[in-house]
Structure 1
């Protein structure tokens, strides 16, 4: 039998990866993640098919060639996602959604998922006192409530290959499932010969960066909303343009102050000082040939503005410059690409598009924090991750509205592994490709407050640039 480890006494819901219902012996041995809905005759209906919600379909992964930067085949469980674990998953009908088709697609609500719903993501400093407290409460409750529906794998895939070990799974909190996902997608590969391959990332350093994080935030937003029971809940964003420091959001009224006399530790006056991080010890995992198992590894750390080259945050002009780049991606489709919008916004190129060893824009904000947020695998432990990435997502949205690209702007082959247009994004269940999230926020039922178009005709008359320049608090470009 597969082992399940328990780290808490409290249970809740989560949607993101490794459904508990699909990690039993039968599901893994048959490769089927198609949970049964109860039926009158007691036989059950896969994916709610008897109710017209979905059907169990065989997965057809995209086998277009990826770049030679990843030279291995069959050594990592993220390859050809998710076929190491399952070859059949639910394909939901109409606007039904989820690993078992029990939910609605993003942007839809109601018993039959036919009602449109639009959420508004706002600047965190425009939230009322009550809205801010609600956001903070959702964060903290999600950190202390273990997921009822999802687990994380804690057996290295290399053990499957070399020892025939069956996978074990662990219960972790809802927040930690999400933090773990960000670690899992970026962790190193443990090779069967005892080596470690580091040059791989299924969500960063390539074209999938922005679509992947768009889906990731949608999932996070839905999960946090469950803890406040508010159908209008939306995650806020942090507009960091031109700020000298973190004195606004790094306070006990928001996401926790960092007293100058305590290096990296948060103020005792914030609930976040009690948080324990997970998945922060990459070198240790590699040396021990193991993986993060969700165990607590110490307090959340921040020391903003103390790295000499990153003592301030990206500027207004930096954002204007990146929005002048009209190509979503350029060869070689990785961190060395020049004049690539996605590579530049991620921060591997200067704002004018020239690849650089220095960090800019998105990456520079992570570096600025000089703590848990500053390493890829651990960064999602810090709740600043959410509001930072929400703002990055809004810049992505401005670019999409400005240039209206076709999905052909996403490369179909020869991108880094996991980054081709048709690749299933790791580690999401239900399955999605990058092109699914290479489209406007309105398709997923959310808007950014400063991008709401009140009068489309007026927008077209004035032109795109004038319109965005006139929006109050908006993205002047």
Structure 2
């Protein structure tokens, strides 16, 4: 059970910056615990500075100005935040940049995101355990907003709620994608999303997963933890929907999860978007109903099946990151096709059938199928880890310069220098238009043609020698035993030959299995 209530604290806003004093001062420059100075300035970790928000024009999809707290993020709440130096990062410069470790953040380390089906049984149990721990552990660093800045009386009356580590991220996904409240019941603007339907989709979710991994590592003490991925290419159903992973269907109600899964006891957060809009309010962060999922029993006119390998290959072949209006109408756009609004066979935008990323969400037919509430389902993480791996594959294949990310005229929230909503510390979209290696992580499926393949190739000659030698060695041993007993009859000779054939077949099968294990992450 989560402890919920009203506090002088802030969204995915740091607790030290959520006081009435900080909000009225519009300053988020907490002291670093190491020396007690703001942003760790005395130790050279960072300093407090004015937030610079570019004036590059946004696209025409959003015609308002000054009505949404997310506009020109984070200026509605803060105009001064920590600017960290060197490899330091975090709202008080207490952390290291992604990919760096150590007291002074000088140690480089690369983590590996693996195929969830290549985890051992123990690793799968650990994954489920970590997710459940995050769901049950109150966040010590962040809280979530339950009212707009205007409802908070411009900071004089902060209204926020405590939620778990997991639900901080559920709330973030809701908040970044929610509709704009224009005042009054039912008065909303729906054609807006600060993390979807535009160029920032892939960079935003990249930061989201990195931050999510960091929080899991903090609460578990396991610095080796990485989010695995589910490779859903050509899947005929929900392969991860087992009680050993993300939960089977409940035999009594197929829209619910099996009681054998720990996730069946989870309660959703911020999953009633239509209700909030009808009342003209933000999600109040109270626990709602159980997770729902009914994979495959969706509207097949929108999603006939899960994406195929051919569709993924076509999407990766698109050379332009984004095109045209850089929204759901974009043609021959890698981002739009990857997100699911471009046809994965033609690349034409405004597709009536959803593909790629969006297809998986709709296929799940439940909590995952609502953009604002989709992060409630833990499948979200496995899904987006794979989407991020495809983004990574595209970056490596086409090698775009960061300057190719749009500077202006993208839908609001998506220009290159726009600060991602609702992250604090601040990140811009362009900063994450770079490869995962620069951020300290790798995908096992992208290693298949390098380290894994080289290992397989180097072992193959020895395996072939073994294949050639062992049948004869074993046969000699068997036949020698037969000869010693004086029973070399025709029938027994045939048995020897049969054994030789069986042994040869078994060794060939063993060789193939070993090669598959060495190449297990090859797409």
Normalised TM-score (structure 2): 0.82
The residue that corresponds to 1:29 in the other structure is 24
Instruction: For residue 159 of structure 1, report the CA deviation from its aligned partner.
Output: 2.9
Asked if 1:115 is matched to 2:93, the reply is: no
What runs of 5+ residues in structure 2 fail to find an aligned partner? 455-517
CA distance in 2 between partners of 1:115 and 1:37 (Å): 20
Tell me the residue number matched to 1:386: 381
**Equivalent in the alignment of 1:397:** 392
Indicate the residue corresponding to 2:4 in structure 1: 7
State the Cα deviation string for residues 62-117 of structure 1 (Å, max 9, x = none).
Answer: 12110111111111110000011111111111111100011111101111110011
Structure showing greater radius of gyration is: 2
Tell me if structure 2 keeps the 8 A contact 1:305–1:311.
Answer: no
Counterpart of 1:60 in structure 2 is 52
Residue 410 in structure 1 maps to residue 405 in structure 2? yes
Correspondence for 1:85: 77
C-alpha distance in structure 2 between counterparts of 1:254 and 1:282, whole Å: 28
Within 5 A, what are the aligned runs for 1:121-270?
121-159=113-151, 166-192=157-183, 195-246=187-238, 248-270=239-261
CA contact (8 A) 1:16 1:219 kept: no
State the Cα deviation string for residues 142-181 of structure 1 (Å, max 9, x = none): 00111111011111345357x9973311110010000000
Query: In the TM superposition, what whole-angstrom CA distance separates every residue of 1:276-303 from its partner, at most 9, and x where no partner exists?
Result: 0010111111122211121011000000
On the 8 A contact 1:154/1:167 being kept in 2, the answer is no
- Kept in 2, the 8 Å contact 1:153–1:169? The answer is yes
In the alignment, which residue of structure 1 is the partner of 2:264?
273
Show the counterpart of 1:429.
424
> Residues of 2 paired with 1:357 and 1:220: CA distance?
33
1:250-399 maps to which residues of 2 (within 5 A)? 250-309=241-300, 310=303, 312-351=305-344, 352-355=346-349, 356-399=351-394
In 1: Cα distance, 2:33 partner to 2:115 partner: 43
Find the residue that maps to 1:36 and give its secondary structure: coil
3-state SS of the aligned residue for 1:159? coil
Shift of 1:474: 5.7
Superposed CA RMSD: 2.2
Shift of 1:228: 2.9
Shift, 1:312, TM fit:
3.0
Sort the Cα spacing of 1:304 and 1:399 in 2 relative to 1 into closer, same or farther, 3 A.
same
Partner Cα distance (1:107, 1:374) in 2: 32
Partner residue of 2:90 out of 74, 86, 98: 98
